[in-house]
Structure 1
């Protein structure tokens, strides 16, 4: 959205159409020509351009705008650009622009580059605080609470329409909240001539254009936007801002290997950026949904995405660049070591890196696709199996917004339902139609990028094959049902997961969970597909292993000797050992006695009395310093420490707690 709007604005200032002097290039859309001198590109496209031509032949300058947003791709793009400039393109000029970033740190990163200050002509903006504390997070306010974020924003918008003139720009954390506020305002008595328009990245282009266009004569406009409108866009007519104080942000847990999208409070720098939107054209007003006293408690700056993002895409790009040590590049904030190590482990598992951390031929092809490494691996494996159309459709479903809405989405976690909607001539009534259109387009583009042709009338693959393909992308999230049949699963990464509501998939033995909410002890499964045993033996045979174990089971109160079939941390099958090694059984039983305590042994009164007398004599002899060490230590603790020397010989054939009564 920002790239297209920026290109259109510059082209308009030249009196030209986009694609002549000024063009744009993004993943699935570009408008450039041989006459294009200025290209506005997304950060991901810049990475692809650098990887394809590190010297950037024909490029005189790179401009990084709004760098304070500190996206992962922006940090990577700047690091690669600096490396290219140092080794391949010394004449390449780099310009980093930001309204709020610490200029000294960036100048130092660029080699003490000169700093140019260009003060804008912002008009004064009056700030009106309207909350009773910090911005209210969704978890802190029930859906029906008077101070729920969307309810307060709706009230502030209505207040702004009464108190002020001009158009209103309201900032909300995501599309879900935008729809709720839109519905709330639709049910309210809005003044005549007020139009409410959404604005977020997944909207169709014509709806985005409508939100960015000036209001018609005599009308007023209320734009409900995510933080996409925070810095990159100027919306004509806006002189009032309503700020929820919230934004959506993804964070990655390297232990679980899962990303979680959470709603968080914005920083003071972000709040200032939003406030400034009201003063672009004339003096304005900013309504903040928090108290003035709580404002200093907000973080001063938004943390860069690199510190808590999934680094698998970055790790693949570094390997493709030929860098095995991230410290070889210059960063404003270096990638965290734990996240980077986790990312490289995943890439090794997907076959993108070899044991030495070098990129493989498979990894280079994955990087060329530009999709997340998990999905790129799935696409390439599917291509070799003749199932590329199906894999492209699955990848599109996972990268676009859910096709189902509301209760329908929550009550059906089966991705095959979405796949059937994607393929159907007419979507279900609960379908998010804009998302459906984008997913269909993305599927065609992904298939083409992976070396296929648009499926058209060709065989698109069987919906039932979704599970095995998704398991290529998420081998660590293959799950087996736990005992009880209540929808709880153990995953191959060692974690637990469960469906949040009754599901047909909950009755399956094997699934692959592709979307999880990891905020609870057992992650909630949001999207999954079924698997069969034959899928694992056919496609994951190299990761399956039989293991023999003899151990004490606290639950069974017995020695368990079994042969288990395992996929990483997931147990798929258990069989009792036909013959149990005597020494292994003895060691396991000793562990059981230690766990139970030696009081579980069949002590007679005389034995306990003897034990007490020996301990008394030891203590007395030790106090008199007459050689108490000659008496053996026979306390319960001492006996537990020396079970091997005195109990082990008597454990022949003893494998259960009740068998201990046979110990002489």
Structure 2
């Protein structure tokens, strides 16, 4: 029989109880659930419906855990247990019906189990009843299964009248099962449109509630950060829109940890909500807690893998966030190995996931893909025969013996090439003999994966996984770094195991020599990184690390798969703008603001802004109440993620940083009203009205400096002097006190290394030092200081701009007397405020004809 009913209809819990009630005494029902958590949850739910403890009338059997007795009438088992039991005549002789639940998942173990059940029905127990159940088989798969079962049923020639130790005929079976479900469609459609004469198909509408499906824009590209952000945003929306628990479907533990971290970083969960994780390797106590009713005032965001897709009911869930992705094994022909890939789910899986929101009340499903993308999804998952590693299947078939294995009927037969590769691997491992029969070595491993012995050892001793260190020195035994951080080596040089890059150690010991412990590997099995990734994904932690590489002076991103201290894989990956900016800002904060690769122009602008802030902010704000920005090192460093972040788009290296328009970045800090006055409040350059040459102002110190040749300042004071807001003009020039001595000038403008020591004299300077004019401190703080340069560009002296008239009167005559003899071709007017117009030299000096 084929039964299709939506989530919550009762196919997993009600149908087994009803079927058990019509079986002859002493016969039991086996329910095959796809996962351990689903098997135990179904058993608990059925036992609760009957008011009996688990293990009495209703029981379960999963790997390493079981609760049932000789009188248990319904036992929920996993596919691995099923395959073992189907080969035990003592067990199967007491089985009257096998119900394959959630068959749409089409695992290779499930298909083998169905083939074995049909083989038992044909050759051992013709009264065995087989029911294939699912919520989302789909019309095509329903017809395929019904036709397959019908052909097998006819081959078995099973009687159709009522039997003493089995279910009634197919028609009677339909009547019994219809107690639990509402049959959909007319009789002719049920028999002829979907089923066959010998294998009926029942389609039920069930009792699930309506689920609204909302399509959201998913992440663009394959950037895991974008994927995580999209899921977190959808969870936030679900928290706003709904009032109860939220179930989030994610591909694996890496994504679960990432989303959980993102929700925490965003402070997305309200005070009455908390996040939980649900996956296959979660301790059973934690799984049980999630399946049990919880405090009504608390909300849960349950981050789960596909384990929550079917067969379990999470109380309180009325919203589902579906990432649309799942992890499944895929064969890589380039490496001849199986790998785990993240792929889009099928329509069947999407419907299953959405149904989780309507188990207890009307719900909402948020899908992270568009409606057009939804129409492109495959109808159902590919059968496990075409997407899984068939080595375990081949080992199970070998345990049956060649004759029985050859007579099995398949819903989808495994390909010959894939099975040949599996046989080759098993033969190389010593698990099967030349004739294809199982060896004694493999008999004890039937419930485990048969990929490698190393996988089994790693399960038992996960901290003893080891990766080979430098293998260039073959004169010493191979040394391995263990997952627990210890070092261990093989006992002998030339041990064949030393060629394996990875081992799983079963027995290790050692001694202490000079304070150092030297462990010796006594028993181990070879292992590959690919085998660990495929068979032990729960042991692998994935780190997504973006750092600044001091060697390359660039941002680098590595995706590392680790087990303890071992790095299984380190893959370089593209760096997003957000991640790169975060790393660059952290690097600059650590190195200090001196590491900013500012251009000369940007450095000058920074000094101007700092001078303006110090000069004006301490007095009073501008007329509009705005202040010049604080661009000190501390202020810039503290606000890097505000002012620099927008400029870091596309920046990945120090070379990119140097190419930034730093002047524009600094100008962005200035309010627009003040930016318009920047060039007048603190001019970048001054152009001499006498010579026409321009000279940059220096704002490094508290008093701005204007270095320029002395001839640049020749001319009327009201025209020559730069005008500042502080009022530095000829009319406001403040002469020093009348008794102030003339400025000390350095008239020796020869090269610094050739200057001769001179005694300090009035009007001169000693040892080539620059002596600031006395009385300079009497100028206003905002005053400008002129740095007078000789024709050789050496500094003659510094004169506050307000005292330039005083300088021309008191100090200039001595300068003119000295330089008129030394630089005869230059014009040295007797009255520098009224110079004769003459040509300008390349040094900014006037030249006489």
Please give the TM-score of this superposition, normalised by the length of structure 2.
0.46
Could you say if the C-alpha distance between residues 472 and 322 of structure 1 is closer, same or farther in structure 2, counting changes exceeding 3 Å?
A: farther
Matched, 1:334 2:398: no
Could you say if the C-alpha distance between residues 366 and 142 of structure 1 is closer, same or farther in structure 2, counting changes exceeding 3 Å?
A: closer
Structure 1 position 96, deviation (Å): 1.0
Aligned residues of 2:466 and 2:482 also touching (Cα < 8 A): no
2:134 counterpart SS class? coil
Matched, 1:243 2:329: no
Q: Distance in 2 between matches of 1:105 and 1:68?
A: 12
Match of 2:236 in 1: 158
Match of 2:282 in 1: 203
Match of 1:118 in 2: 204
Between structure 1 and structure 2, the one with the greater Rg is: 2
Q: 1:358 aligns with which of 421, 437, 454?
A: 437
Match of 1:128 in 2: 214
CA deviations on 1:583-606 (whole Å, 9 max, x unpaired) are xxxxxxxxxxxxxxxxxxxxxxxx
Counterparts of 1:588-603 in structure 2, within 5 Å, are none
Match of 2:245 in 1: 167
Q: Distance in 1 between matches of 2:255 and 2:77?
A: 29
Could you say if the C-alpha distance between residues 28 and 372 of structure 1 is closer, same or farther in structure 2, counting changes exceeding 3 Å?
A: same
Matched, 1:372 2:486: no
Match of 2:460 in 1: 396
Structure 1 position 351, deviation (Å): 2.2
1:344 counterpart SS class? helix
Match of 1:32 in 2: 68
Q: Distance in 2 between matches of 1:272 and 1:20?
A: 34
Could you say if the C-alpha distance between residues 270 and 403 of structure 1 is closer, same or farther in structure 2, counting changes exceeding 3 Å?
A: farther
Could you say if the C-alpha distance between residues 168 and 322 of structure 1 is closer, same or farther in structure 2, counting changes exceeding 3 Å?
A: same
Q: 2:309 aligns with which of 230, 245, 253?
A: 230
Aligned residues of 1:11 and 1:22 also touching (Cα < 8 A): yes
Aligned residues of 2:560 and 2:569 also touching (Cα < 8 A): no
Aligned residues of 2:452 and 2:527 also touching (Cα < 8 A): no
Could you say if the C-alpha distance between residues 342 and 359 of structure 1 is closer, same or farther in structure 2, counting changes exceeding 3 Å?
A: same
Aligned residues of 1:25 and 1:41 also touching (Cα < 8 A): yes
Could you say if the C-alpha distance between residues 4 and 402 of structure 1 is closer, same or farther in structure 2, counting changes exceeding 3 Å?
A: farther
Structure 1 position 502, deviation (Å): 13
Could you say if the C-alpha distance between residues 266 and 392 of structure 1 is closer, same or farther in structure 2, counting changes exceeding 3 Å?
A: closer
Aligned residues of 2:318 and 2:361 also touching (Cα < 8 A): yes
Match of 1:108 in 2: 147
Match of 1:470 in 2: 526
Q: Which range moves more in the overlay, 181-190 or 280-289?
A: 181-190
Match of 1:321 in 2: 400
Match of 2:483 in 1: 418
1:116 counterpart SS class? strand
2:95 counterpart SS class? coil
Q: Distance in 2 between matches of 1:396 and 1:277?
A: 35
Structure 1 position 40, deviation (Å): 0.8
Matched, 1:53 2:89: yes
Aligned residues of 1:55 and 1:84 also touching (Cα < 8 A): no
Matched, 1:94 2:155: no
CA deviations on 1:368-407 (whole Å, 9 max, x unpaired) are xx2222445x6xxxxxxxxxxxx96434357x99999xxx
Structure 1 position 519, deviation (Å): 13
Structure 1 position 8, deviation (Å): 0.9
Matched, 1:142 2:220: no
Aligned residues of 1:248 and 1:262 also touching (Cα < 8 A): yes
Could you say if the C-alpha distance between residues 324 and 401 of structure 1 is closer, same or farther in structure 2, counting changes exceeding 3 Å?
A: farther
Higher helix share: 1
Q: Distance in 2 between matches of 1:197 and 1:311?
A: 34
Match of 1:68 in 2: 104
Matched, 1:7 2:43: yes
CA deviations on 1:280-323 (whole Å, 9 max, x unpaired) are 22221111111122211211211122212111111111111123
Could you say if the C-alpha distance between residues 141 and 308 of structure 1 is closer, same or farther in structure 2, counting changes exceeding 3 Å?
A: closer
Q: Distance in 2 between matches of 1:105 and 1:394?
A: 40
Structure 1 position 70, deviation (Å): 0.9
Aligned residues of 1:55 and 1:88 also touching (Cα < 8 A): no
Structure 1 position 51, deviation (Å): 2.4
Q: Distance in 1 between matches of 2:132 and 2:268?
A: 46
Match of 2:191 in 1: none
Counterparts of 1:560-575 in structure 2, within 5 Å, are none
Matched, 1:191 2:258: no
Match of 1:179 in 2: 257
Please give the TM-score of this superposition, normalised by the length of structure 1.
0.58
Q: Which consecutive residues of structure 2, in runs of 5 or more, have no partner in the other structure?
A: 1-36, 151-197, 468-478, 489-503, 512-517, 532-557, 574-849
Structure 1 position 335, deviation (Å): 0.8
Match of 1:19 in 2: 55
Q: Which range moves more in the overlay, 208-217 or 71-80?
A: 208-217
Could you say if the C-alpha distance between residues 302 and 402 of structure 1 is closer, same or farther in structure 2, counting changes exceeding 3 Å?
A: farther
Aligned residues of 1:353 and 1:359 also touching (Cα < 8 A): yes
Q: Distance in 2 between matches of 1:338 and 1:201?
A: 31
Q: Which consecutive residues of structure 1, in runs of 5 or more, have no partner in the other structure?
A: 379-390, 405-413, 424-442, 448-454, 476-498, 504-512, 521-664
Q: Distance in 1 between matches of 2:308 and 2:80?
A: 19
Aligned residue pairs total: 426
Structure 1 position 471, deviation (Å): 6.1
Q: Distance in 2 between matches of 1:103 and 1:417?
A: 50
Match of 1:212 in 2: 291
CA deviations on 1:318-342 (whole Å, 9 max, x unpaired) are 1111237966322221112211110
Aligned residues of 2:231 and 2:323 also touching (Cα < 8 A): yes
Q: Distance in 1 between matches of 2:383 and 2:431?
A: 26
Q: Distance in 1 between matches of 2:568 and 2:404?
A: 31
Aligned residues of 1:416 and 1:466 also touching (Cα < 8 A): no
Match of 2:120 in 1: 84
Q: 1:294 aligns with which of 349, 373, 389?
A: 373
Structure 1 position 42, deviation (Å): 0.7
Could you say if the C-alpha distance between residues 9 and 348 of structure 1 is closer, same or farther in structure 2, counting changes exceeding 3 Å?
A: same
1:252 counterpart SS class? strand
1:465 counterpart SS class? strand
